[in-house]
Amino acid sequence: MNTKQGFAPIAAIIIALLVIGGGAYGIKKAMEKKTDKGKQPVESGMPVPGTGTKEKEVFMEPTTLQTKLSEQNASGQGGQAILVQLGTSTVRVIVNLVGKPPIESQPAHIHLGSCPNPGAVKYPLKNVEKGASVTDIPNLTLAQLISELPLAINVHKSAADLKTYAACGDIVSEEKKGEASSMMPVPGTDTKEMIVSRGWKVMYTPQGFSPKTITIKRGDMVVFENKTGKSASIASNEHPTHLLYPEFDQYKTDQRGKTEFSFTFEKVGTWKYHDHLNANVGGTVIVVE
């Protein structure tokens, strides 16, 4: 019997099986690698320095519109309003006035029409107390609000004198991303200055304030949003007297206990602040002309 001739076919079969098996194994490993790659989480956003949080998660800012409120009827008051989209069906309206201190609380509304002679009230806002008002309007989006233009935000002199307007501003449809500057009268004077209006947001998370330091212009508003899940009260240094910038104290405002605290910085300087309920955590706002 010729063993060489009998072994040759068997060897060929064995080699073929090894080739097929190796190819199948290679294909299987390639598929597993592809599957594992597909299971890996897709990350987006840059890491915030000093935290394990992604910047995209920290700065998911809602759409924002800004309205400049100009002095009316020699009231000595002017300022700005910021309209913020919260979630999918709420608009927050933040009104801040500066200038001559009011004698009493001032009614405020979003009116139909335009300044200086707006029409009927479309959306009532909370009264302006000590220069500030925060109102959440439910079942409304900024897109819907824009579709209803022309609209104006109007602050009245007092509840007893609704016909006298103290400050008024038209809501514009363009989103304010970055700076929006224009000439406007300085309340109580005959001069004009270039006022740069900009909205800022600082997030307060379990890792601290982010961004920890911001540089803004005098007259800019900063919104501090508490995302720690705990109570907080933002105030200027030093703890516990807060005398560095006494007005910059959430506890002294009608925003006490709220998760958002908005403040307009009217003083130039370097203002360190902290959480009064957790004084080891703080940040810095640098205000320039």
Domain positions in the chain: 62-177, 199-288
What are 224's two structure tokens?
């501090």
Give the angle subtended at the CA of 188 by the CAs of 185 and 189, to the nearest 5°. Answer: 60
Average pLDDT, the chain: 78
What mean pLDDT is predicted for residues 84-94?
88
What mean pLDDT is predicted for residues 229-258?
93
Cα 184 from Cα 195, distance rounded (Å): 7
Q: 62-177 has which fold?
A: Immunoglobulin-like (2.60.40)
pLDDT confidence tier of residue 11, bands split at 50, 70 and 90: low
What pLDDT, on a 0 to 100 scale, did the predictor assign at position 97?
A: 87
pLDDT confidence tier of residue 25, bands split at 50, 70 and 90: low
pTM (global) more than 0.85: no
What mean pLDDT is predicted for residues 32-46?
45
Give the angle subtended at the CA of 218 by the CAs of 216 and 223, to the nearest 5°. Answer: 55
pLDDT confidence tier of residue 116, bands split at 50, 70 and 90: very high
* Residue of higher predicted confidence among 62 and 3: 3
| HSE (side-chain half, CA atoms, 13 Å) at 95 | 34
Would the pLDDT of 23 be above 80? no
Single out the residue of 175, 160, 72, 65 nearest to residue 118, CA to CA. 72
Asked, colleague to colleague, whether 62-177 and 199-288 share their fold, the answer is yes
What are 268's two structure tokens?
């130039």
Would the pLDDT of 27 be above 80? no
In the chain, % of residues over pLDDT 90: 46
Look up the CATH architecture of domain 199-288.
Sandwich (2.60)
What pLDDT, on a 0 to 100 scale, did the predictor assign at position 125?
A: 96
pLDDT confidence tier of residue 65, bands split at 50, 70 and 90: confident
What pLDDT, on a 0 to 100 scale, did the predictor assign at position 217?
A: 86
213-217 vs 278-288, strand pairing mode: parallel
pLDDT confidence tier of residue 93, bands split at 50, 70 and 90: very high
What are 137's two structure tokens?
């309007």
Under 8 Å between Cβ of 255 and 132: yes
Q: For residue range 180-211, what is the model confidence (pLDDT) as tens digits?
A: 333 344 344 333 333 334 568 899 999 999 88
Sign of CA dihedral 158, 163, 166, 171: positive
Q: For residue range 144-181, what is the model confidence (pLDDT) as tens digits?
A: 999 999 999 999 999 999 999 999 999 987 543 333 33
pLDDT confidence tier of residue 101, bands split at 50, 70 and 90: confident
